[in-house]
Amino acid sequence: MCGIIGLVSKREVSSTLLEGLKRLEYRGYDSSGIATINNKKIERVRSKGNLSFLEEKLANISLPGKIGIGHTRWATHGSPEEKNAHPHITNKVAVVHNGIIENNNQLRNQLIEAGVKFSSDTDTEVVCHIITSYINSGLNAYDSIRATMNDVKGSYAFGVLILNEPDKLFAVRGGSPLAIGSARNENFIGSDTYSLSAYSDNITYLKDGDVAVIENDSFRVFDYSNSSVKREKQSIIESVSLSEKGIFKHFMSKEIHEQPEVIAKSLSNYIDMDKGVLNIPSLPYDFSTITNVTLVACGSSYYAGLIARDWFEKFTNVKVDVEIASEFRYREPPMVSNGLTIFISQSGETADTLAALKHCKSRGQKTISIVNVGDSSMCRDSDASLKIYAGPEIGVASTKAFTCQLVVLACLAIKIGTSNGSLSKEQEKEYVKSLLSIPRLISNTLDKEDEIIDLAHDLSNITTTLYLGRGQMYPVAMEGALKLKEISYVHAEGYPAGEMKHGPIALLEKDLPIFMIAPSNSLYEKTVSNLYEVIARDASVILLTDNEGLHNIGLIKNKIKTFLVDETDIISAPFVYTLPNQLIAYHIALLKGTDVDQPRNLAKSVTVE
């Protein structure tokens, strides 16, 4: 959710902090702010709205100082207005925060009774006042922060400035991600690798309970027991630049068009191209003993899990459950012995999925994380991890990360199938061949973007729609509906086509747009029968199919709009039919004039429950 940046240096820091916030804006953009220490005073500039408003203020207001913290906010406690923007300050302390303080109300009431006056509605201001109260009682900066950690409950990462320690930046982790990046004569803190990659070649991740005391030329980390510890420095392998949209108007468009390239890259890491077989790195399990697979995820990653369930069940003959992370652990479902639980996340920091991971490990489950960020919390906490190699995904609505997740899930399903004898070597090669065809099939679909643009113009005034599909195309439909909801704010639902008669058919009326996803596979005829039911009620159908599918619907083709893709199979179909849905959502959003990359109320990395 919220993004944190901090810097202690020998040079002025405000302009660099602003640049860092631009790299974090995908994490939250309801408001933003920067605070520095200068001339024995904490100075601050904040603004409601996206970073352009803060940048405009900073162009007219000097914010000197060689130490500072910055924040871009996704609102939890308190509406998105300037008084609730971070950093929050007292006359002695400034704090930026990612997370939620669960006992905020109790602490706030105690502080009010003690005479503290609040200027915001946020839980973060509580933290600021508690640290200040400990400093006023005579504790030093470090001990005041450590005592505050004992008082607050919840998930948090803090960046803290203390006026009487003007050369030190304090970083605190208690469940939300935070890292340190080091460079010559300066040290940074940031919420993720991407925020630090422009400034440092290495990164040090804090662990829960850590407090770091950071100066411009060194830093020390103390764990939950106050012991000085060494945290491993890791190289930032992939240097990325925020400014490289290239010819594309939005990051979402760029990331849609990157899919042939990044899928090929992902495949190259899991396939022996010379032999045409899988080349998955060694994992610490005997897959032949796996009796149950559970896939756990949120949002688009959950839909990737639903698609992959077909692969796992067909290729492995193992029972598969797919769970929404935010619901899963609260049900406390029984976990079978020899069970494998797979956690799917773009960021590897999704709070609900991380909590589910810890729950499953406590139940003795084998765990694998499938993530885009290879040094994320989920990777570090799992028994093993598989990176999806999508590269940085800045657009809030997931596109290339979703399809790269599917790559890894398909490879893992095939691997387990060959390990337990459910698939032969010949079948493995057949499925690998299908995987290798996907970049070409997706490129062919992207070549038809002009047809999508024409469709989008016809649909630019829609306010509600349904996406229908069967089998794997049902979660593809749900993902398509989610994309449209996320970026165009059109009400859309993905639904199993065969379930229309059990309620949703009541919604059909003249000219209601219905997206039908119907590859010419074993479920095609059943899907077409649902298509006839929709047309009989005068709804307006947009059929996504292939040439054979179009040929087999007969004269009815004159009553519908169509978008044709190449013929597909059980492996390639979910990839290929996802693409037109991404493009439809993007171009409808463009015509509606919404903020495609940063849709309202959403953030890229959901690090609070």
| Distant-in-sequence, close-in-space partners of 530: CB < 8 Å, separation ≥ 6 | 468, 470, 497, 498, 500, 516
Other CB atoms within a 10 A radius of the CB of residue 418 amount to 21
Give the residue from 255, 257, 263, 256 showing the smallest Cα distance to 434.
Answer: 263
Separation CA 365–CA 336 (nearest Å): 8
Q: Which DSSP string corresponds to 460-522?
A: TT--EEEEEESTTHHHHHHHHHHHHHHHH--EEEEEEGGGGGGTGGGG--TT-EEEEE--SST
Q: In what order do the strands lie in the sheet with 228-229?
A: 88-89, 93-101, 154-162, 169-174, 211-214, 219-222, 228-229
Separation CA 102–CA 151 (nearest Å): 11
Say which of 2, 128, 360, 411 is annotated catalytic: 2
Q: What is the DSSP letter of 242?
A: T
Q: 3-state SS of 56-71? A: HHHHHCCCCCCEEEEE
Using the structure block, give the residue that is written with the tokens 């839980």. 123
Tokens of 422: 């459910």
Tokens of 600: 């309202």
What Å distances lie between residue 376 and 29, 177, 371, 381, CA to CA?
22, 8, 8, 9
Q: 3-state SS of 255-297? A: HHHCHHHHHHHHHHHHEECCCCEECCCCCCCCHHHCCEEEEEE
Decide if 2 is catalytic.
yes
Say which of 48, 168, 415, 604 is annotated catalytic: 604
What Å distances lie between residue 8 and 17, 127, 150, CA to CA?
10, 22, 26
Decide if 41 is catalytic.
no
Separation CA 115–CA 21 (nearest Å): 34
Separation CA 394–CA 531 (nearest Å): 36
Provide the 3-class DSSP secondary structure of residue 600. coil
Separation CA 313–CA 472 (nearest Å): 12
Q: List active site positions.
A: 2, 604
